[in-house]
Structure 1
Amino acid sequence: MSHKVVAALLALAAASAEAQTSPASPPRARIRGEIVDSVRSRMLTGATVQLAATDNSGRILSTTTNLQGVFQFNDVPAGVYLAGYLHPFLDSLGVESNLLRVEVTTDDPITLNLATPSAATLIDARCGPPTPELPRGMYFGTVRTANGAPPAVPARVRAQYNSNRVTERGLERVPNVRIATSTAEGTFAVCGVPANTAITVRGFAGADSSGFVELPVPGNGLLLRDLVIGSGTRQQLRGTGTGARVTSVLTGKAALRGVARNQSGQPVNGARITLWGTGVEVISNAAGQYQFSNLPEGTYTVEARALGFQPHRAPADLLATREAVVDLTLSALVTNIDTLRVRANRAVPLEEFERRRKLGFGHFLTEDDIKKKGPTYMGDIFRGLPGVVTMPGQFGRDRVLIRSTGMTGDCAPAIFLNGLYVNIEDGDLDNIINPKDVRAIELYSRTASIPLQFQTRNGCGSAVIWTGARMDDPPVKK
């Protein structure tokens, strides 16, 4: 055998021995998964997913979920990891991601699925176990001041909604109030609000407050919405011209603008845009545009009304540092065809009204009393009643208030329309009631005299307004 052949065989044997004794390459795996937003029933996009090695605090792998909520790590070294994720939505929920243990021991791919806590889990964690007395819903958020900082003192958040109950007198509308106090960081949880219902909320801390804000609670019972509180100044503004009226408005340094459109995206000309509780109102132009200036800071409700459209409301966060923009989409007013045949229009006698009038615990206006006043606005009906003060409002209308008792300022009474509570916080009754439709009024300016079915916790009395066909209206022709 030649020396060259022997040398080649020896080299081959050495290489084979070295291959048998050298260690195998460590495994490296692919980790893939998705994150589900259990609260909003969709995938969580833009989340930062991290793998932290348990044996090396400095080794952290990161990636981001795509538009489908999917993430993937390629070529992950063998080892034990803790997996979690970061996302602003978790911050809004006031929770952190759960950590899952992941062990890479082979080259086989690993599937890792993550999810946010469900609405029911979050409600249970903050409100405790369910009780039959309260609805199973929660309003959760953070109160911050207009400069973005938490309030200097714990804030109070008040939420109100109405419910119905059946009594021997019939169906009654009952106002319900829930109040929560924020933490030092400003977070709060109002428990006991109903799902699929609009609630009216307000936050306040010290001299700062928000406006009254109407918010819908979703079907899962978890409402997430922050509140901004700020300052405002009440001013008396006098119009121009002879006999100009004085208007009371709430002012500040904030501004708001937007566009009112219909559902087809076309601008709505002549829509009345109001900001609840401020006493200000503007009209949209031909392009549907509206604009406010000198508004108070805080979260308020902006409302749009236009002929042929349903009223539309939306929250607006008003800050002095930047102009707020809220576009409003108005839905067409749906006309329902009445399936009942009206055979007479004689007004139904107000038996309960007459019964309470005989008791004499309030002040009562009959149809004749109202006709003698010849009202143009709702304030004309209430003017001169005991305990009532009418304050100038917008467009010649007056706000109906209960006169101060010395402990509180003038305030708006709770309004019941045909026995059902309606939310009119600023005393401007002309927004929803035509004085020509009013048949009778019950006024209870002293809280001690209010009948049980008309009692609320506003501490400002109640006004019960009955509308419908008048007793002397001409009969309908058959």
Structure 2
Amino acid sequence: MASTFLRRLAAGALGLLLAGALAAPVAVAQEGAGNLAGRVLDDSTGTPLFGARVLLLGTKYAAGTDEAGRFRLADVPAGPYVLQVRYIGYETVSLPLSLAPGQALQLEFSLASSGFVLPDIVVRGQGRPGMLDPKLAAFYDRMRTNAGFATFLTPQYLNQRNPQFTTDALRSVPGIRVTCGSTRTNAGGGCEIAFQRSAGAGIGTYGAGQCPPIIFLDGMFMRMKPQELDQMIPAQQIYGIEIYKGQATPPEFNYPGAACGVLAIWSGDRFGERDRERDRVGNNR
């Protein structure tokens, strides 16, 4: 079944790539750049997958799918890439491709269910949640050891606030300023994120005393602007966020630019955590 799915995906993607190569040149905003767009669907039902993450590996280019399963990566420099599509509970798909100057590729991905069921998480007293993905277990380890030096947005906190966009989750964090201009759309984006610093510490287009944080996703440093955060990962797929300022940054996040601030974002199923908390409350009544 898996081999049939992969053959079908490869054949479909190849046909779409050839069609894009034969199409008339499409004007794009950046000279020598191209566009990638398409849809992400459930393999068995054809239902659009909302909130799937589409990214070009090793670059800043990433997007989340909308309610119709659509995505778009604009003004991508020409060259070879590996396009990857991720969605919780589904198999990850990677597609090597080459983008020509001025080319617009239309792609469609059908993701197969991974059949994986997340294990129950049991919390007792002050102990660390068990049976977690190692990256999420490390999140709780740092929350215990860095309490008082950093801010941690836990699954419970995010579920209570229910942010529409990733930047919305940061609005109530002391020392962070989120400013969204007229460029923000229904897909999010266009929001400036600035850490408050001492006078004269402003960087680039940010005001005096403000500077932008560097961003990590699942432990990987992302070469991107804070304004692109909403497109990088949908708020619904965030498990937790670690926020560090200056000297408090742990060694694993101490990259150039960390002196201003660090956002370490972790993906995962935080809604499962909400359901488990409801079950625990119900069982204790």
Give the TM-score taking structure 1 as reference length.
0.32
Query: CA offset at residue 442 of structure 1?
Result: 0.3
| 2:162 is equivalent to residue 374 of structure 1 | yes
The 5 A counterparts of 1:190-205 are none
**Over aligned residues, Cα RMSD in angstroms?**
3.4
Partner residue of 1:342? 116
Shift of 1:335: 5.4
Relative to total residues, which structure has the larger helix share, 1 or 2?
2
In structure 1, C-alpha distance between the alignment counterparts of 2:243 and 2:32, rounded to whole Å: 28
Q: Contact 2:213–2:263 at 8 Å: present in 1 too?
A: yes
Deviating above 6 A after TM superposition, structure 1's stretches of 4 or more consecutive aligned residues are none
- Matches of 2:160 and 2:112 in 1, distance apart? 35
Q: What is the alpha-carbon distance in structure 1 between the residues aligned to residue 226 and residue 19 of structure 2?
A: 27
Tell me the equivalent position of 2:44: none
In the alignment, the residues of structure 2 paired with residue 304 and residue 451 of structure 1 have an alpha-carbon distance, to the nearest angstrom, of 37
Identity of aligned pairs, percent? 21
CA distance in 2, matches of 1:421, 1:364: 18
Cross-structure match for 2:37: 306
Report the residue type matching 2:116 in the other structure: V
Q: Distance in 2 between matches of 1:291 and 1:426?
A: 21
Query: Which residue is equivalent to 1:450?
Result: 249
**Alignment deviations for residues 419-451 of structure 1 (CA, whole Å, 9 cap, x no partner):** 11112224321111100111111001x221011
Q: Kindly tell me: are residues 314 and 341 of structure 1, through their superposed partners in 2, closer, same or farther at Cα, counting changes over 3 Å?
A: same
- Counterpart contact for 1:391–1:399, Cα < 8 Å: yes
- The structure whose residues are more often strand, as a share, is 1
Q: Deviations over 1:222-274 (max 9, x none)?
A: xxxxxxxxxxxxxxxxxxxxxxxxxxxxxxxxxxxxxxx9634437xxxxxxx
Q: Does the CA contact (< 8 Å) of 1:310 and 1:333 recur in 2?
A: no
Partner of 2:94: none
Q: Which amino acid aligns with 2:180?
A: P
* Residues 324-335 of structure 1 mapped to structure 2, 5 A cutoff: 327-330=102-105, 332=107
Q: Structure 1, residues 156-175: CA drift from partner, whole Å, max 9, x if none?
A: xxxxxxxxxxxxxxxxxxxx
Q: Does the CA-based 8 Å contact 2:165-2:235 persist in structure 1?
A: yes
* CA distance in structure 2 between the aligned counterparts of 1:380 and 1:466, rounded to whole angstroms: 16
Instruction: Give SS of 1:430's match.
Output: helix
The match for 1:408 among 201, 214, 219 is 201
Who is 2:142 aligned against?
356
Aligned partner of 1:306: which letter? A
Shift of 1:333: 5.6
Query: Tell me, what secondary structure is at the counterpart of 1:332?
Result: strand
Counterpart CA distance in 1 for 2:34 and 2:212 is 19
Query: Hey, what does 1:422 align to over in structure 2?
Result: 222
The answer to whether the 8 A contact 1:310-1:331 is kept is: no
2:241 alignment partner, SS class: strand
Contact 1:401/1:427, CA 8 A, preserved across alignment: no
Structure 1 pair 371–328 and aligned structure 2 pair: CA distance change class (3 A): same
CA distance in 2, matches of 1:343, 1:264: 40
Q: Check 1:383–1:342 CA distance in 2 against 1; reply closer, same or farther (3 A cut).
A: same
List alignment gaps of at least 5 residues for structure 1.
1-260, 268-286, 293-299, 316-325
Identify if the C-alpha distance between structure 1 residues 427 and 288 changes in structure 2 by more than 3 Å, giving closer, same or farther.
same
Cα pair 2:36 2:107 within 8 Å, conserved: no
Could you tell me how far apart the structure 2 residues matched to 1:401 and 1:307 are?
A: 32
SS in 1 for 2:184: helix
Contact conserved, 1:310 with 1:332, CA < 8 A, in 2? no
Distance change (3 Å), C-alpha of 1:465 and 1:265: same
Once the two structures are superposed, what CA deviation does each residue of 1:53-91 show, in whole Å capped at 9, x if it has no partner? xxxxxxxxxxxxxxxxxxxxxxxxxxxxxxxxxxxxxxx
Q: Does 1:435 align with 2:228?
A: no
Cα distance in 2 for residues equivalent to 1:407 and 1:456: 22
Compute the displacement of 1:346 (Å).
4.5
Q: Could you say which residue in structure 1 is the equivalent of 2:180?
A: 392
Secondary structure of 1:306's counterpart equals strand
Maintained 8 Å contact 2:150/2:248: yes
SS in 2 for 1:356: helix
Change (3 A) 1:303 1:455: farther
- The CA deviation at 1:389 is 0.9
Partner of 2:7: none
- Length, aligned pairs only: 177
CA distance in 1: counterparts of 2:228 and 2:32, whole angstroms: 15
Kindly tell me: are residues 381 and 329 of structure 1, through their superposed partners in 2, closer, same or farther at Cα, counting changes over 3 Å?
same
Q: C-alpha distance in 2, partners of 1:463/1:379?
A: 11
Letter in 1 for 2:165: Y
C-alpha offsets along residues 379-434 of structure 1, whole Å, 9 cap, x if unaligned? Answer: 11001212211121422442322234323223321111111111222432111110
SS for the counterpart of 1:427 is: helix
**Contact between 1:346 and 1:473, CA under 8 Å: does it hold in 2?**
no
State the TM-score, normalizing by the size of structure 2. 0.52
How many angstroms apart in 2 are the aligned matches of 1:469 and 1:435? 11
The letter of the residue matching 1:427 is Q
Partners of 2:102 and 2:116 in 1: how far apart?
41
Structure 2 unaligned regions, length at least 5? 1-17, 40-70, 79-100, 122-131, 203-209, 277-285
1:247-326 to 2 correspondences below 5 Å: 263-266=20-23, 288-291=26-29, 304-308=35-39, 311=73, 313-314=76-77
What amino acid is the match of 1:434?
A: P
SS of match in other structure, 2:177: strand
For 1:433, the aligned partner's letter is I
